[in-house]
Amino acid sequence: MSSQEIRNYTMNFGPQHPAAHGVLRLVLEMDGETVVRADPHIGLLHRGTEKLAESKPFNQSIGYMDRLDYVSMMCNEHAYVRAIETLLGIEAPIRAQYIRTMFDEITRILNHLMWVGSNALDLGAMAVFLYAFREREELMDCYEAVSGARMHATYYRPGGVYRDLPGKMSQYRESPWHKGKDLQRLNAWREGSMLDFLDAFTADFSKKVDEYEELLTDNRIWKQRTVGIGVVSPEMAQQWGMTGVMLRGSGIAWDLRKKQPYAKYADVDFDIPVGVNGDCYDRYLVRIEEMRQSNRIIKQCVDWLRANPGPVMVENFKVAPPKREAMKEDMEALIHHFKLFTEGYGVPAGETYSAVEAPKGEFGCYLVSDGANKPFRVHLRAPGFAHLSSMDVLVRGHMLADAVAVIGTYDLVFGEVDR
């Protein structure tokens, strides 16, 4: 058979493949090991989140936001809650805004730890995954301490946050796995409040990031798998509507926290890391540096919160529940409590778009109200959905194994892509 008669063949990649990150199905046209064309198929997870949010009172859809990008929970809540606050014309107290800023950055570190661990695993490095989850467990304890849940927190509320930071962190108990000096070491940071815990964490975390870099940054195999792979030029990044690390990795210093500040980002000091070559390796370096910058922001928020007590919820009983003590003595407060959590509250008619710099890029909420107690329309701008559309351009001419590196560098979570 002559070379002219050899045809390309089509192969299915995913959705069950561990490197397909959930339910991505790629239909790849291959010339041997080289990708000629990639057609990403979505729709395998679709949960109708936006339509569900239109059938429930405003407050009851906050938990849906957590379940979109289930690695960046509170950042998603932030966009939705800010949209409601804009239509209501209210603003959270300053302390609540600092708490939101701090937890947005805790969430960013959680996301990037998951990314560096899973992406390294996709490309054959096992140890980094275990290292990254060591620190993730510490920060997940902060989620649990404020909300009672380790993932789907529903902690942000229109007008503030659910409750103030706890004065005590949970401690490890003696077990067959933890005893004696090991138990003392694990509980050393947990003797005081959450702010004490985060003080200790931020002081230690930069050394942990050094450990990840020691394993990967100058690793010959890691660089062979990432340098020059999936190159995105600045022009291409803008044409495809890329945001977040996909945009900053190509050298464009666009970050909503600086360009359109919200919460208390205008009052904290941090830098925007950018890449040079726009390849998978540069995007890795940007995420590593973002973890260091998030650590800086958390430290500043901890210092401010320690020095400035105050309310964490507006004194507006249209959107905020009455205190428990008031409900015991005042029947009107009790009735208001039940009305708020069953019927909710009407939001003035209007429309708004509210966006946050989520760990994966710009996560936005377009919200339309017709004056009722539930949204007329909810549409969510998921960064991963915009990024996935460039898959074909990025992987053409690369090897099949390089397609895995490109999928990983997108940092996809299909809860938000396939809303």
**Crossing angle of the two packed helices 127-147 and 194-216, in degrees rounded to 10:** 160
Residue 29 vs residues 23, 98, 380, 381, 400: alpha-carbon distances, Å? 19, 49, 32, 30, 10
Does residue 320 surpass a pLDDT of 90? no
Residues forming a β-bridge with 94: none
Average pLDDT over residues 94-110: 94
- What is the predicted pLDDT for the residue at 316? 81
Please write the tens of the pLDDT for every residue from 17-28.
777 776 888 899
- What is the predicted pLDDT for the residue at 46? 86
Domains of the chain (ranges, CATH numbers): 9-89+92-171+180-313+348-417 (1.10.645.10)
- How far apart CA 147 and CA 74 sit, in angstroms, is 11
Average pLDDT over residues 310-332: 79
Give every CB contact of residue 33 below 8 A, 6+ residues apart in sequence: 399, 400, 401
- What is the predicted pLDDT for the residue at 341? 79
Cα atoms in the Cβ-side hemisphere of radius 13 Å centred on 182:
7
Q: Cβ(283)–Cβ(409) under 8 Å? A: yes
- How far apart CA 70 and CA 153 sit, in angstroms, is 10
- Cα dihedral value 354, 245, 414, 13, nearest 10: 150
- What is the predicted pLDDT for the residue at 359? 92
Q: Given pLDDT bands bounded at 50, 70 and 90, which one contains residue 6?
A: low
Average pLDDT over residues 39-44: 87
- What is the predicted pLDDT for the residue at 1? 46
Please write the tens of the pLDDT for every residue from 278-300.
899 999 999 999 999 999 999 99
Q: Cβ(109)–Cβ(291) under 8 Å? A: yes
The whole-model pTM stands at 0.91
- What is the predicted pLDDT for the residue at 205? 92
Average pLDDT over residues 8-19: 83
Please write the tens of the pLDDT for every residue from 340-398.
778 788 889 999 999 999 999 999 999 999 988 899 999 999 998 889 888 899 989 88
